Chains A and B, each alone.
Chain A
Amino acid sequence: MQVAVDVPKCVASGQCVQIAPEVFDQRDDDGMVVLLDEAPPPAEHDSVHEAALVCPAAAFLVTA
């Protein structure tokens, strides 16, 4: 799995951080998404898909 984030799209809803804290974080100065792991292990795949699905700004690109 490969994950990419489109930071300018991010609206800092914080949902990805709550769903997959091992993969996503928020930048301290403005809350924008930070990608911690661009190739997360299989245990994280469901969470990453869920985060991508609920992101209000559709800021994630997830590829197999």
Chain B
Amino acid sequence: MKADVPVLSMTREPEAPLDPPSQYGGFRREAPITRISLGPGAPTAWLVTRWEDARAVLANPATSTDLSRPGYPSRTPMSMPPGFFLFQDNPIHDVFRKVLTREFMVKRIEALREATARIFDGLMDELVVHRPVADLVEAVALPLPSLVISELLGVPYEDHVFFQEHSKVLIDNTVTGAQKAAAQGALGDYLETLVERRRKEPRDDLITRLGQQVDAGTFTTRDAADVGAFLLFAGHETTANMIGLGVLALLEHPDQLPRLYAGKAELATAIEELLRYLTIAQSGLARVAIEDFTVDETTIQAGDGLIIMLNSANRDEAIFSATADELDLGRANARQHVAFGYGIHQCLGQPLARMELQVVLPELFRRLPNLRVADRQEVIYKPHAAAYGPALLPVTW
């Protein structure tokens, strides 16, 4: 490692917890594709900070998402089971994704909108009991996506509590590795049993259809259970973070709240802008080059690691104009953000995330028009988590 390679830091300015680290702006202007170190003794990688370059790299078939490949920019090289298909290259990736594309179709997700609203109402009925102060993360942001995924997978209602308790442990940074492994094992066993049960007693749900793929020989029962666990992992804390940060951003911009109620298209645009502005995937996306290629006149060699910094790309003035660092819920091109990534691995669950946010954010402020961070209480953020957001969001109303 050369001494002049800067160490990548995700540390934000304390007074701007919703903005990416300010150093990214400098990289975008002066060194948009640059070598960085992932830390002392850790490998170096290319840091990609501009929107156009980010899309070019993420769409390039000469890159891999396989964590076990040499050069993959990670401090802890590991491999993932096939069912965690985000970390698989083709042809394995497509085997899994193609089984699931049907499940996340816009019209199927729209069919879950009413159930999502009902789940949200139930959580709000419980929250208001805790007046004057409640933690919005614990009360709404975390349980909502977990319950919606339970519904989507077809986890029986009587098992929702078990499912939610264990999925909570998986994303809790205060528990030990052993506790996490135990929760992961319990969820994996549970999902495997559920797949087996649905193979015998089919229903109209995602687990049943994964079971049919086992019957067809596409993959194993374990793979099917891993897919279920992966969907939970991918859709739980991510949406929870967006709910928490979305609330905080809206509290900072009360003048823009009416846009949430101005119509369906306006609400959709507002949610896209929140996704752009807040970009929770703060550690970016990691890739390793499997062939030499050129991006923006920089030659990337096979075996080089790349970090595509999504939250920087989403603040790129070249695409989002001089106002890129401002929240504008009416931004005409907000939807061009890369908060869900880009290329063949772009988030499969994005229609679900959008629908959940479109249900939750307007309804929350409609039910609690005086919602605010509780006096003398502090919002605690997760500065080192892969997905940024509040760990604690004490609110009153």
Contacts and interface: CB of A to CB of B under 8 A. Distances in A.
B192 to A, nearest CB: 25
A56 B102 contact: no
Contact of A31 (B104, B342, B347, B354): B104
A11 B350 CA distance: 12
Interface string A4-32: 00000001111101110000001011111
A56 B342 contact: yes
A36 interface: no
A26 B230 CA distance: 24
B75 interface: no
Nearest to A18: B106
A28 B108 CA distance: 9
A14 B106 contact: yes
A58 interface: yes
A53 interface: yes
Query: Secondary structure of the A side of the interface?
Result: loop
Contacts of B336: 53-54
Chain A: interface residue count, which band? 20 to 34
Query: Secondary structure of the B side of the interface?
Result: loop
B335 A14 contact: no
A18 B101 contact: no
Contacts of B340: 13, 56
B209 to A, nearest CB: 11
A50 B350 contact: no
A39 interface: no
A31 B107 CA distance: 9
A3 interface: no
Interface of A: 11-15, 17-19, 26, 28-32, 50, 53-54, 56-58
Given A11-B101, A50-B333, A50-B335, 4 more contacts: A11-B97, A28-B105, A56-B59, A57-B343
26 contacts: A11-B97, A11-B344, A11-B348, A12-B101, A13-B347, A13-B348, A15-B335, A15-B350, A17-B106, A18-B106, A18-B268, A26-B105, A26-B106, A28-B102, A30-B98, A30-B101, A30-B102, A31-B101, A50-B335, A53-B336, A54-B335, A54-B336, A56-B341, A56-B344, A56-B346, A57-B344
